[in-house]
A and B are shown apart, each in its own frame.
Chain A
Amino acid sequence: MIDFLLYLDPGSGSYLLQMIIAAILGALFYIKGIWWRIKSFFMPRKNKKENKASGEDE
């Protein structure tokens, strides 16, 4: 690997790699976004319940 890199510009050698990393990070970001949406779908209801519960106490 190191041998043929001698003939490549140090910057250009990483262009394809960055595209792949950016794609992986993008996918992870997308999955994370879905996860947060699922999480937040349940969270407010839980909060509402808590508020309601505390309101009843008063």
Chain B
Amino acid sequence: MNEVRKHPASYKDPAGFIFSLDGKIYRQVNKEYASHYDHLMNSGLYQKLVNSGLILPHIETNLPFADRDNGYKILEPETLTFVSYPAEWSFDMLRDAALLTLKVNLTAIEYEMVLKDATPFNVQVHQGKMVFIDTLSFEKYDESKPWVAFRQFCECFLSPLFLSHYNSAELIKLLSVYIDGIPAGLTAKLLPFRSRFSLAAWLYFYLPGMVNNNQGNKPQTNGGFNKQKLQRLLQHLTTTVERLKCRNENTVWDNYYQETILGKEYLEEKEKIFRSYIDVISFENAVDLGANDGHFSRILSSKSRVVAVDFDHNCINRLYNQAKKSAVSNLIPLVVDLSNPTSAVGFANTERQSFIERCKPDLLLALALIHHLVFGKNIPLSNIAKLLSMMTSKYLIIEFVPFEDIKVQELVKNKDNFHRNYSQEEFESLFGHYFLISRKEKIKGTDRWLYCMSKK
């Protein structure tokens, strides 16, 4: 048996913790949380949430406790395909996560329980939809007290959603810096003047500043609250979140395939070669870098679990909504910029892992991507080869776009300072350090090439 490894992010809650053992993830429930856990399981709340598809199911195991002195139960939750972070989500993903959290809380109140925390890290994309994953977030409900996680909900969910609604969904990325939520005071400063005509903006952003300023360090008094008031508050939060809309900005990739030479024929030819490659390799999970409209991610999703990544927010938001609508259950779209992927943050820089650390697929896809990195971001081809070899555990399907390509010419049109040692020979030699080139084919009607490589 291997060593028990406590998850670095699982240190805040004394009710229990997450640990890994023999490649599996478990959750220890501590003795001090026993009465709350028993209430969750015996009141019918857990079953209700599982039946409604709102919570990640778990089973109780007989494994020895990871922390013997405090152990009460060991749970084995259903395995997640990929752990994504809120800063990587699109607007509608974050909005769905907020609505889920409110729905879980409203359901919990019916069973005399309440959520003691409300962070988007408690939600993950699982089988095509948002699910609540933290079994230890429920505590017995004391009607006289207001919601303990109210401020956390406002700062973790409402702040980025309001900033996206009134400014730009690009501001969701602030969550990568403010992992415990964007402070309400800061959000109030960033919101435009027209937000002052919104009752919700006043209640959840402008009012907190006024209340806290006048309150000073006066002791907090409990009591005077009741279930009806909390339900009304949660219902108002739900209506508020439902009314928020993502500002419709044009995507960088709008009509990418429709315009110029990159039309239908190019796409069909590329798809034909791509399908012939994936038919002969075996893989269980894939990551599509620069997924664009997700055309190739959707093809892969019929064979394996896929994480589709693009730096363009609107592409990913659209892909999420399409996947949700067509009930594609094994596709996770994420907003990640490969030239600046999500970094490791939090306590000791280990609480939240970097995107690269979390990304270890069997198959990595980099279609029509490298020219953007080389000529758009000035990243040398050798660095890209090294990075992609670090990211994949088995295969790489990559498209080589020659310097003469119309898209490359567009990128270098007004640029003198770029890496000039860019050729197909150089590409094969540099990638050859890390990979065996098993197949390569020219995409008919273009000078682009599609490669299938396996890691050395």
Q: Does chain A bind chain B?
A: yes
Show the binding face of A for B, using Cβ within 8 Å.
1-2, 4-5, 7-8, 10-22, 24-26, 29
Q: Is the CB of B217 within 8 A of A11?
A: no
- Given A4-B216, A11-B148, A19-B146, 12 further pairs, Cβ under 8 A: A1-B185, A1-B209, A2-B183, A2-B186, A11-B151, A16-B220, A17-B150, A18-B150, A18-B225, A20-B207, A22-B232, A26-B229
30 contacts between A and B (CB under 8 A): A1-B209, A2-B183, A4-B216, A7-B217, A10-B151, A10-B152, A11-B148, A11-B149, A12-B220, A13-B151, A13-B212, A13-B220, A14-B154, A14-B208, A15-B145, A15-B221, A16-B215, A17-B207, A17-B211, A18-B147, A18-B150, A19-B224, A19-B225, A20-B207, A21-B204, A21-B207, A22-B146, A22-B232, A22-B233, A25-B236
* A16: chain B residues within 8 A (beta carbon): 211, 215, 220-221
- B414 in the interface (beta carbon within 8 A): no
Residue from the list A5, A11, A26 in contact with B212, Cβ < 8 A: A5
Q: Whole-angstrom distance from the CB of B435 to the nearest CB of chain A?
A: 48
Complex alpha-carbon distance, A2 and B208, angstroms: 11
Mostly, the B contact residues are helix
Contact with A along B210-236 (1 / 0, CB 8 A): 011101110011101100011011001
Q: Is the CB of A25 within 8 A of B232?
A: yes
Residue from the list B145, B150, B215, B233 in contact with A25, Cβ < 8 A: B233
Rank and list the top 4 A-B pairs by shortest CB-CB distance, nearest first: A18-B146, A14-B151, A11-B148, A22-B229
Q: Whole-angstrom distance from the CB of B122 to the nearest CB of chain A?
A: 15
* A29: chain B residues within 8 A (beta carbon): 232
B residues contacting the other copy or chain, number (CB 8 A): 33
* A14: chain B residues within 8 A (beta carbon): 146, 150-151, 154, 208
Q: Whole-angstrom distance from the CB of B335 to the nearest CB of chain A?
A: 27
Q: Is the CB of B207 within 8 A of A15?
A: no
Q: Which of B172-208 contact A (CB under 8 A)?
A: 183, 185-186, 203-204, 207-208
Q: Whole-angstrom distance from the CB of A39 to the nearest CB of chain B?
A: 20
Complex alpha-carbon distance, A25 and B150, angstroms: 15
Q: Whole-angstrom distance from the CB of A57 to the nearest CB of chain B?
A: 41
Q: Whole-angstrom distance from the CB of B65 to the nearest CB of chain A?
A: 29
The chain B residue sitting closest to A10, CB to CB, is: B151
Complex alpha-carbon distance, A19 and B205, angstroms: 15
* A15: chain B residues within 8 A (beta carbon): 145-146, 220-222
* B216: chain A residues within 8 A (beta carbon): 4
* A25: chain B residues within 8 A (beta carbon): 229, 232-233, 236
The chain A residue sitting closest to B229, CB to CB, is: A22
* B204: chain A residues within 8 A (beta carbon): 21
* A22: chain B residues within 8 A (beta carbon): 146, 225, 229-230, 232-233
Q: Which of B226-282 contact A (CB under 8 A)?
A: 229-230, 232-233, 236
Complex alpha-carbon distance, A21 and B150, angstroms: 11
Complex alpha-carbon distance, A32 and B232, angstroms: 13
* B209: chain A residues within 8 A (beta carbon): 1
Q: Is the CB of A24 within 8 A of B203?
A: yes
* A11: chain B residues within 8 A (beta carbon): 148-152
The chain B residue sitting closest to A8, CB to CB, is: B217
Complex alpha-carbon distance, A22 and B215, angstroms: 18
Complex alpha-carbon distance, A25 and B199, angstroms: 10
Complex alpha-carbon distance, A21 and B236, angstroms: 10
Complex alpha-carbon distance, A16 and B207, angstroms: 11
Q: Whole-angstrom distance from the CB of B374 to the nearest CB of chain A?
A: 43
Complex alpha-carbon distance, A21 and B213, angstroms: 16
Complex alpha-carbon distance, A7 and B233, angstroms: 26
Complex alpha-carbon distance, A12 and B183, angstroms: 15
Contact with A along B143-174 (1 / 0, CB 8 A): 00111111110100000000000000000000
